[in-house]
Chains A and B, each alone.
Chain A
Amino acid sequence: MYQFSGKLKTFSIALMIIGALGVGYSFLTAPKTVEDAKEIIASQHDSHETTAATHAPATDSHEKTDSHSNAKTSEHANDEHAEHVLHALQNKPWAATYVALFFFLGISLLVLTFYAIQRVAQAGWSIVLFRVMEAITANIVPASILMFVVIMTSAGHLNHLFVWMADGTFDPASPNYDAIVDGKKWWLNIPGWTVRSIVYLVGWNVYRFLTRKWSIAEDTANDGNKIYKKNYHASVVFLVFFMITESMMSWDWIMGLDPHWFSTLFGWYVLATLLVSALTVIAFVTIYLRSKGHLPFVNDSHIHDLAKYMFGFSVFWTYLWFAQFMLIWYADMSEETVYFIARFNEYKLPFLGMVVMNFVFPILLLINSDFKSRPWFVVIGGLVILAGHYIDVFVMIMPATVGDQWFFGIPEISALAFFIGLFIFVTFRAFANAAPLAKGNPFLQESEHYHYYNIEHEGEENHH
C-alpha cells in the first residue's frame, strides 16, 4: 500500500493555505463602491497614457461611452462606466475561482468518464492504471461541494457571474429587461438552472461512489466476475447520463455566461478541452507514482498509450476550435460574432496563444512514436497542454464576467494554487486508501503484459 505523507502532503497543504489566503485577500480587496472603482479607473488611466502609443485606439471600444478616449463625456456616462468597471472588478475574484474550480471539476469528471469508457469497452491495456484514475476521480467530491457553493451563491444573487440572473431580466417593465434572454426563459431560469446543476453533480458523485466501492470489492471478491459485471452496467448507465449532462452542464455553466450567444458544438468543445486535460493529468500522476516505484507494473507502453490520447485529443480540440470559429467567421452574423469580437479585442494574446500551446506544440513534440514513451517528453508536452487548456477555460469565462478588466494576478494564481494543492491532497490520499493494483479484474494479465510492438521498453523495473 502507498503511504501519503511527508513532503508531498506538506506541500499540498501549504499550497491550499496559500491559495485560500490569496483568494480571501482578493475578495476582501475587491472594490466596494463606485468611488473605489473610479479611483482604480483613474490609476489605470495614468498608466494608460504612458503606454498609449502601444495601444490600438479601438481596444476599449465595446463601451460606447468610453471615458478614456472621449474628453467631452458627460458626468452621467462616466458614472455608468465606473459602475460597469465596479461590477467587473467585483466579479473578478469569483470568476478567477470559478475558472480554476471548473477546470478541476471538469478534469476529475473526464477522468471518471475515461475510466467508465475503459470499463464499458472492456479495454485490456488500462487495468494497471485503474487505481490511478480512481484516485483522481476522488476530486469530484470536494470540487462538487465547492461548485454547489458557487451555484447557490449565484442563484442567491451573492455573485453576479451570470448576467441573465440579474433582477428584472424577465420583466418587460424593468430597465434590465432582456427580450432575447426572456425568449430562452423555458431553459434559462434560476429554479431550473439550480435544479439541473444539482442533478448533474449528484449523478456524477453517485456513480463515482459506487464504481470505486465495487472496484475495491472486486480485489478480494473472487465471485465469478459478478461485481465486474455490476460495475460494467453502472458504467454504461453513467456514460449515457454523462453524455447528456456534459452538454447541458457546458450550456448552463459556461455558455450561460454569454446568454445571447450560442454555438451548437459548444458541449463538444468543452468536452475536448477537459478530456485532453484529463488524459494529461492521468499521465502526470502515473509518471510521478511510477518514478517513486509505486507502480512497478506500469510499463512504457502504458505511458505511450496515454501520450497517444493526449496527441489525438489535442488535434480533436483544434478541429472543434476551428470548426466553431470558421463557421461563425464565415456566416458573419452579429449575434454570433460578438463572442469572437470580445476575444479578439481584449484577449488576443491568450486567445490565439492557446492555439499554439494546444495544437502546434503538442503536434511537434508528440508526433514521434518514440517520444511518446519517454516520460520527460510527455511531462513537457503535458505542462504546455495543461497551461493551454487552463487559458482556454479562462478565455471561455473571463470575457463575459470581467470584460476588459482581466489580468493574471493574485486571484487567478491563488485559486489555481488552492486547487492544485487540493488535487494533490485528495488524489494521493485516495490512492493510499486502496491497493495500487486492481487485482480482481479479469483483464489484469493482458494489461500487465501490454507491449506496443513498435517501442522499446526502458523505464520500468520488470523487463519482460
Chain B
Amino acid sequence: MSNKVIHAFYNDDEVVLDAVKKVKAAHHHIEEVFCPFPVHGLDKAMGLAPTRIAITSFMYGVLGLSVAIWMTNYMMIQDWPQDIGGKPNFSWWLNMPAFVPILFELTVFFAAHLMVITFYMRSRIWPFKKAENPDPRTTDDHFLMEIPVHDNEEELTTLLKETGAVEINVVEKH
C-alpha cells in the first residue's frame, strides 16, 4: 500500500477553514492541518474530539490547593509556629485568612504549569525535537492541509483546487 499524501497550501485562515469544511463534506479524511497560528473553529470543522485539557487544569488546581493547605499547615502550624502579629498559630483554620494568598497562588501555579506540561506530552513535543511540519512555510504565512491518497489523486486535486489552494503537491510520506 502506498503512503502517498496530498499537501494543499493555502494563504488565508478563512479560506483554509472553508476548504476543510468542503473536504469533510465530500467525505475525505483529513490527516492534519498545519497552521502558523491557531485558527478558531478549525478543530470543530476537522471533526476532532473536544479538548479535555480544561478538566486536567481543574484537577491540577485542586491538587495545588491541597498541596498549599498541607504546606501551610506543616510549615506554619505543625513544624515551626511563629507569632506573627498575634495571629493564632495553633490552628490552621483560625489562621486561614493569612494563607489565602498562598492557597490562591499555588492553585494557579499548579494548574498553569502542569497544564502546559500535559499539553507538551499529549502533543509529543519536547526540547530539541525535530519539527514535524512538512514545509517550513507553515511557520510563516501558509496553511497546509494533508490528505491521504487512496487511488483518488485526480478527484482530490480537482476538489482542492476548487477550494482555493495556492499549491498542491503529491508526496510520498515515510
Contact = CB atoms under 8 A, between A and B. Distances in A.
Interface of A: 322, 325-326, 329-332, 453-454
Interface residues of B, number: 9
A231 B97 CA distance: 46
B100 A322 contact: yes
17 contacts: A322-B97, A322-B100, A325-B97, A326-B97, A326-B98, A326-B100, A329-B97, A330-B85, A330-B87, A330-B97, A330-B98, A331-B85, A332-B85, A332-B86, A453-B40, A453-B41, A454-B40
Contacts of B97: 322, 325-326, 329-330
A450 B85 CA distance: 53
A211 B100 CA distance: 43
Interface in B11-53: 40-41, 44
A306 to B, nearest CB: 20
Contacts of B40: 453-454
A325 B97 CA distance: 9
Nearest to A327: B97
A9 B86 CA distance: 59
Interface of B: 40-41, 44, 85-87, 97-98, 100
Best-buried of A331, A332, A453 by chain B (most CB within 10 Å): A453
Instruction: Give the interface SS of chain A, mostly helix, strand, loop or mixed.
Output: helix
Nearest to B87: A330
Closest 3 CB pairs of A and B: A453-B40, A453-B41, A326-B97
Contacts of B41: 453
A338 B1 CA distance: 82
Contacts of A326: 97-98, 100
Contacts of B100: 322, 326
A315 to B, nearest CB: 11
A290 B104 CA distance: 39
Contacts of A332: 85-86
Contacts of A453: 40-41, 44
A128 B100 CA distance: 40
A452 to B, nearest CB: 9
B42 to A, nearest CB: 9
Contacts of A329: 97
A325 B98 CA distance: 11
Nearest to A454: B40
A308 to B, nearest CB: 15
Contacts of B44: 453
Contacts of B85: 330-332
A61 to B, nearest CB: 20
B76 to A, nearest CB: 14
A358 B40 CA distance: 32
A301 to B, nearest CB: 12
A332 B97 CA distance: 13
A326 B97 CA distance: 6
Nearest to B44: A453
A331 B86 CA distance: 10
Nearest to A326: B97
Contacts of B87: 330
B17 to A, nearest CB: 10
A326 B102 CA distance: 13
Contacts of A330: 85, 87, 97-98
